[in-house]
Chain A
Amino acid sequence: MILPQFEYRRARSVADAVALYKKEKGKALYLAGGTDLIPLVKLRLQAPKAVIDLKGIEDLRIIASRGGSLSVGANVTLFDLKKDPVIAAHFPVLIESLEATACETLQMRGTLGGNILQGTRCLEYNQSLEWRKARGFCLKTGGKECNVVRGAKTCFANYCSDNAPSLISLGAQLRFTGPGGERTVKLESLFTGDARTPFAMEGGEVLTHILIPLKKTKGAYEKLRVRESMDYPLVGAAVSVIDGKARVCVGGVGGAPRLYVIGDIRDAAAVRDVAEKASADAKPVANATVSPVYRKKMVGTLVKRAVRRALAEGKR
């Protein structure tokens, strides 16, 4: 499948990128590693007039410790991040989710920012234009109802980042620069809850840095998938523990990851309650390769397993 025509612009700085975006009157998309964007453009799910390449912006490739946080530039590749000693020493959950993302060649291309801002996925959505035209457009592509759950006016596409749940469990924040200036938000509040337009962002905003509280944590990431590499999560569960308090985040089901807090990780009943609640909250539908009933059940199973492993210091 060949790419459609678009203009290619290379940004030298974040300010330059935002200026280019304004110049293209909003009909532009930012490009970093391209592992999410390029397939979407090939499938004609995105049709940018221009693509603004952020890869050349040096500032976005730096990992630095700053005021009690680790600041990770959005353009740091997943592979480089995985090899970073500070990450390894502090955030076992993130090391595991990075390792579980796609495969190493894609980790070398894909960036942390792009991984967080990847589109939501569905068997009926990530298809070519010809396929979707024959099928009839779904809710997410401008149709009147969901193609998976007939009659539904809700989109059930799945947010499939492996690393966003890990970062949420670590209490990470995102820093944006856009036409309206700079802002910093908690990662969990990035999500709209609507899988059609999953991120609460202003047009032209560039994700510049991911800020992770620099404390030693225990943690684990559990990923359900059919193959041991390449596959997106069918369910993902991240757990980070600081001072006995656990933050649990579930991804891979629905348009937004869900955060749960366990006051005392050693309280087995509390763990069980959160696992049950997470499973009850998850509303999987038949839009992935295994059954929704099973995925729902696995939410609880994976939460419990991740907690168990976090306590056992990562042993599998």
Chain B
Amino acid sequence: MKDDLNIVGKRVVRSDSLAKVTGEARYTADLTFPGMLVAKVLRSPYPHAKIVGIDVSKALKVPGVKAAVSGFDSYGVKWGVFRYTQDHAMLHTDKVRYIGEDVAAVAAVDEETAMEALSRIKVDYEPLPAVFDPFESMKDGAPQIHEQYKNNINIHINIDVGEVDRAMEKAYLVREDTFKAAGEAYAMMEPYAVVASFKNGYLDLYMPNAGPHVRAKALSNMLKLPLNRVRIRHINSGGAFGGRSEVAPGDLVASLLAIKSGRPVKLVLSREENATSSRQVHDIIATIKTGMKKDGTILAKDYKVIYDGGAYSSTGPIATSIPFYVYEECYRFPNVRYNGYRVFTNKGIRGMYGCHGRAFLAGNEAQMDVMAKELGLDPVDVRLKNGLKSGEMTATKSKITSCGLKETIMTASEKTNFRKRWAKPSRLKGVGMGCVAIMCGFPMGFRSGSSCYVKINDDGQVTLVTGLVDNGQGNESMVIQVASEVLGVPMADINLVNADTEVTNLDPGAYSQAAAFVGANAVRVACENAREKIVAIAAEKLKVKVKDVGLKDGSAYSLKNPDKKMPISWVVREAFFRGEPITGTGSFFPNIDFEREWVTRPWGQMAGTFSFGTSIAEVNIDGETGKITMPRFTSAHDCGRAINPMAVEGQMEGSIQQAGVAAITEGNLWDGGYLLNPNLLEYKVPLACDMPDMDTIIVSSRDPAGPFGAKEGGLTVRMNAYSAVACAVANATGELFSELPLTPDRVMKMLERKKGVKG
């Protein structure tokens, strides 16, 4: 692989940084259009109730109110990611299924008028019995949340590889534990926001989102508009973490109000609404049974995992599967059985989360350490022994084509003196290690690939057009950097037009970790195609061979005699004269087995490649209060090659906070169907003062298919940092956790349990 790169691999200032730190960058709430209205949503006060009637007529009489809508104004088309999960009408005429569910909405000249109008809407409900616990929900006779799902089981994923029961019998050591974790809040800095306008039969939507094309498709279905008449526009996004992947009730509400009023409509949810009525994260209960040989080899795994799915399917089959896959992509499981159940309850809509699956993943890793200890083995050795290597297949038949797992384990453990410290922890101090692998993209049918169009303007400046999405992680800057490398044009001279369904082509979006591997690859190919055209003309003009032409700093030059050069703009002008402007298209479609289906055929190549990572947490526990402090956190991530190391480190640090430190603070609290902490005071996002010293290590395995060898940049930390914390607490206390987050009361219980055993 080419290593003499000019800009890829360099620590460059991201293309979006200046606008964001100066406040110049515009977000949806900043937008104003002439005549724009403010929308407000009336929400269900019941966890489960029949809608007898909705009367918005009095709301419409409030001066300043321009439109009011309910489910009776929509076509009632139900959304679902899959044909078999279409159960979410977003605005309902039959019943409501959670507290905070969208029931009706108004658009008015200002917020106060809209609030006044909401109070005039009359909704007749007939309350129904509700259920909040997934185990209760699965029982016969429990309130049925959707007619079509028996026992409220939304999804059952069954994976069975090898002979699990026989392998368990043969194992030297078998252990079974159950781990729970509260669902988290996405708590993105920017709450849900949308501006919709409808003119001349075209609907325009501005909103932070992770996949404009799939969103446009969903809205075109729900509004019965041709796809070309739904245009999702580009706008900056204040974080997503998985919470903006799918079409949301607000999208439909704002669209309907815009269509009805004929005026632009802005809907911005409050922090509370963002927590109760945008998307939430699944609560998970994972029972994990592991059979190990005496030497630490994992012989068999048997899983039963319950996902509290809230009221609708959402990404159901995917959410029910991902925790398992990111683990089987990391370790070798000759025999494995996974039963994942996603169960409906009368709680908010749940979706995918960047840190999804902490009960399962932290449970696996912490249990592994306890078993290693019992066998007198070192957790580093156990992980190395069971870790997958390049060229191997996962249990469900995905081939690993590049793998830096071993390097991440080795560098992280050497830098922290892990082996020695783990073997002899000082009192109430511990170290713990978590590993995981991440698929870079997953099967999304024909939407799994990306494409790019590039044109070079007559001044030598470049315009890139791609469907790629940036949720704040720096994807836009990343592809500009890639184009800059290929075309030899400074980043500042490259404009990006992206994530606008009117002009950009399909892209997997920013929620399956595909942006670097797929999106940047398409940009690379398009730019290489344009480069060929530049080089051909430059070679002719400079009178050198094509292979002797280099492009750098906006010039084409002779590699042998660098003084021989010409500006790329001259090449471009010449190309215009010839009637063949310098443009290029390029696409990339990953090697995925499209016969794979989440429920019916859970095997085959999952993604084009996989990233690997290891985190090590160091914890100190206050023996009197159970409070955990984290002096240091070390994460090593194999991202293939870092296109911008500074951006990758940023992602890793953010992940240490959102998954690692959050493992001791964050969790949604419920009183039945009432979310008790729908605010940032009682929902405890870790603060700067809670953060450990961080050491981020980038491992480069140079993926053969990735752009310049790159894979996704940082998500492993988001799915192994909590494991490291759980393992460190086990190391410090000698006890396995039973529930996340590890708040001081729970840690105190662990310490008391340990004392009880001793006493």
Contacts and interface: CB of A to CB of B under 8 A. Distances in A.
Contacts of B249: none
Given A1-B270, A128-B272, A228-B690, A135 B624 contact: no
A301 B276 CA distance: 36
A294 B748 contact: yes
Contacts of A297: 748
Contacts of B492: none
Main secondary structure of the interface of A (DSSP, over half): loop
A231 B689 CA distance: 12
A4 to B, nearest CB: 8
Interface residues of A, number: 34
Nearest to B272: A128
30 contacts: A1-B271, A5-B112, A103-B687, A123-B669, A126-B681, A128-B270, A131-B272, A131-B678, A134-B46, A134-B99, A134-B100, A135-B671, A224-B627, A226-B743, A226-B744, A227-B687, A227-B689, A228-B687, A228-B690, A229-B688, A229-B689, A289-B669, A289-B677, A289-B684, A289-B743, A290-B745, A293-B745, A297-B748, A301-B624, A305-B624
B684 A227 contact: yes
Interface of A: 1-2, 5, 103, 123-124, 126-128, 130-131, 133-135, 147, 224, 226-232, 289-291, 293-295, 297-298, 301-302, 305
Contact of B674 (A134, A291, A301): A134
B111 A231 contact: no
B51 to A, nearest CB: 16
Nearest to A222: B625
Contacts of A305: 624
Nearest to B680: A230
Contacts of A232: 681
B504 interface: no
A124 B748 contact: no
Contacts of A124: 671, 676
Interface string B661-688: 0001100010100101110011010111
A252 to B, nearest CB: 14
A229 B669 CA distance: 20
A1 B40 CA distance: 11
A230 B681 contact: yes
A123 B677 contact: yes
Contacts, number: 86
Main secondary structure of the interface of B (DSSP, over half): loop
Contacts of A298: 625
Nearest to B626: A294
A127 B686 CA distance: 22
Contact of A131 (B115, B624, B674, B689): B674
Interface in B627-663: 627
B45 interface: yes
Among all A-B residue pairs, the 5 with the closest Cβ atoms: A134-B45, A294-B745, A290-B745, A228-B689, A291-B745
Interface string B111-122: 110010000000
A130 B671 contact: no
B45 A133 contact: yes
B43 interface: yes
B269 to A, nearest CB: 11
A183 to B, nearest CB: 34
Nearest to B661: A227
A223 B593 CA distance: 56
Contacts of A295: 745
B46 to A, nearest CB: 8
Contacts of B745: 290-291, 293-295
B45 A227 contact: no
A229 B665 CA distance: 13
Contacts of B627: 224
A226 B665 contact: yes
B138 to A, nearest CB: 26
Nearest to A286: B671
A130 B674 CA distance: 12
A305 B626 CA distance: 14
B744 A224 contact: yes
- Pick from B46, B99, B671, B682 the residue with the most CB of A within 10 Å: B682
A309 B122 CA distance: 60
B132 to A, nearest CB: 14
Given A124-B671, A134-B674, A295-B745, 12 more contacts: A2-B115, A103-B687, A127-B272, A128-B272, A134-B43, A134-B46, A147-B671, A224-B744, A227-B689, A289-B684, A290-B743, A291-B745
A134 B119 CA distance: 14
Nearest to A42: B270
Contacts of B749: 294
Nearest to A305: B624
Nearest to A39: B681
B611 to A, nearest CB: 31
A247 to B, nearest CB: 22
A267 B372 CA distance: 48
A123 B678 CA distance: 10
Contact of A231 (B669, B671, B684): B684
Contacts of A231: 681, 684
B467 to A, nearest CB: 36
A103 B749 CA distance: 30
Interface in B37-56: 43-46
A296 to B, nearest CB: 11
Contact of B111 (A2, A123, A133, A301): A2
A290 B682 CA distance: 11
Contacts of A230: 681, 687
B157 to A, nearest CB: 33
B676 A123 contact: yes
A17 B44 CA distance: 42
Interface in B9-67: 43-46
Contacts of B681: 126, 230-232
A134 B115 CA distance: 16
Contacts of B99: 134
A251 B149 CA distance: 50
A44 to B, nearest CB: 11
A135 to B, nearest CB: 6
A184 B671 CA distance: 43
Nearest to A295: B745
Contacts of B276: 131
Interface in B366-400: none
Interface string B686-708: 11111000000000000000000
A227 B744 contact: no
A289 B676 CA distance: 9
A294 to B, nearest CB: 4
A260 to B, nearest CB: 19
A291 B270 CA distance: 28
A135 B744 contact: no
Nearest to B743: A290
A289 B681 CA distance: 11
Contacts of A1: 270-272
A301 B748 CA distance: 12
Given A123-B682, A289-B677, A227 B671 contact: no
A227 B665 contact: yes
Interface string B226-269: 00000000000000000000000000000000000000000000
B675 to A, nearest CB: 8
- Pick from B111, B682, B686, B745 the residue with the most CB of A within 10 Å: B745
Contacts of A134: 43-46, 99-100, 674
Interface in B706-758: 743-745, 748-749
A1 B270 CA distance: 6
Interface string B605-638: 0000000000000000000111100000000000
A152 to B, nearest CB: 15
Contacts of A291: 745
B690 A290 contact: no
Contacts of B112: 2, 5
Interface string B307-338: 00000000000000000000000000000000
A120 B111 CA distance: 30
A92 B750 CA distance: 34
